[in-house]
Amino acid sequence: MFDQLTEKLQSKIYILNDLCLEFNRSIFQIDTLIISESVIFPLDVKNYEGDYIYGEEEFQRVMSDHKMPNPLNQLKRSHLLLRSLLKSLNIHLDIDGSIIFINPKFTLYQAPVNPSFIFPTQINLFLKTLNEIPSNLNDHHKRIADLLISMHQPESPFIRLPPYEYNQLRKGIICEACHSFHFKVSERKLVCNQCGRVENIDSAVLRNVEEFRLLFPNRKIRTNCIHEWCNIISSKKKIRRILSQNLRPIGEREHRYFV
């Protein structure tokens, strides 16, 4: 969503998306990096949803135990590493980093006034300000952009998965909002005991099917395995109904699986 907004900028700038860089054996990621004539803008885009209370170390969800690290600390780290990396390359442009809270359903109570925080209602003004910055690029700026692109790590170590097996993993449905395993099950809905989110059982089971596919692409989708993977849905008959109505059955009875 933010990439689509920055594509509309008319000023003379370079926009680099999803950079993964390394300096002094430390990896850092930048969602959007904008290079203008005299300033480099590293932007960290967050899709947080819900009501939170600001804390220097963590954001605490209202009426919940769920917490998230304060992204300002991550921004400071990437800012420091980017500055050190550019200095080692003899690049001396100012750096002005920001955190973009892109989700309009996000509210942060008791947040201090901080120019690094760009809340949903401020994004249009932020982009307008970027668009009005005087900027004339030359070969030097192109070399900077090309150099950073060449240094991009295509395989981020953050997504290198450790080896895992089915029996090692915790079974259950995870709340989309707070990632809790704790649900109250009613006839047609799941209610998260931690954040209160309500979800239709059919939707939750199908989410778990996609999770199962991702983790175990070589295993067939069968009623028994999805029943075990979901864990909290007691009725195999209900699992079979959801799979039959939403996926295509292959085979008969005990040999049946779904695609």
The answer on 19 and 140 residing in a single domain is: yes
Q: What is the pLDDT of residue 156?
A: 58
What range does the domain containing 116 cover? 2-156
The answer on 148 and 213 residing in a single domain is: no
Nearest CA-CA partner of 133 in 162, 93, 171: 93
Q: What is the pLDDT of residue 107?
A: 94
The answer on 171 and 108 residing in a single domain is: no
At which of 156, 180, 199 does a domain end? 156
Q: What is the pLDDT of residue 159?
A: 59
Query: Domain holding 143: CATH number?
Result: 3.40.1350
Q: What is the pLDDT of residue 53?
A: 94
Given a contact cutoff of 8 angstroms between Cβ atoms, the answer to whether 130 and 41 are in contact is: yes
Which contiguous run of DSSP H or E holds residue 71? helix 71-88
Nearest CA-CA partner of 202 in 147, 240, 253: 240
The answer on 189 and 148 residing in a single domain is: no
Would strands 26-35 and 257-258 be described as parallel, antiparallel, or unpaired? Answer: unpaired
Give average pLDDT by consecutive 10-residue segment, the chain, 259 residues: 89 92 88 94 93 92 86 91 93 94 94 93 94 90 94 70 84 86 84 85 89 88 90 86 88 82
Using a 10 angstrom Cβ sphere, with 0-12 exposed, 13-18 middle and 19 or more buried, the burial of residue 59 is buried
For the chain, the residue count is 259
The answer on 235 and 150 residing in a single domain is: no
Given a contact cutoff of 8 angstroms between Cβ atoms, the answer to whether 75 and 97 are in contact is: yes
The answer on 207 and 117 residing in a single domain is: no
Q: What is the pLDDT of residue 119?
A: 96
Q: Is residue 161 part of a domain?
A: no
Q: What is the pLDDT of residue 155?
A: 65
The answer on 123 and 22 residing in a single domain is: yes
Q: Which residue type occupies 60? A: Q
Q: Is residue 124 part of a domain?
A: yes
Q: What is the pLDDT of residue 259?
A: 85
The answer on 239 and 174 residing in a single domain is: yes
The answer on 77 and 33 residing in a single domain is: yes
Cα of 202 vs its chain's centroid, Å? 24
Number of domains in the chain: 2
The answer on 147 and 247 residing in a single domain is: no
The answer on 39 and 113 residing in a single domain is: yes
Q: What is the pLDDT of residue 139?
A: 93
Q: Is residue 222 part of a domain?
A: yes
Q: What is the pLDDT of residue 234?
A: 83
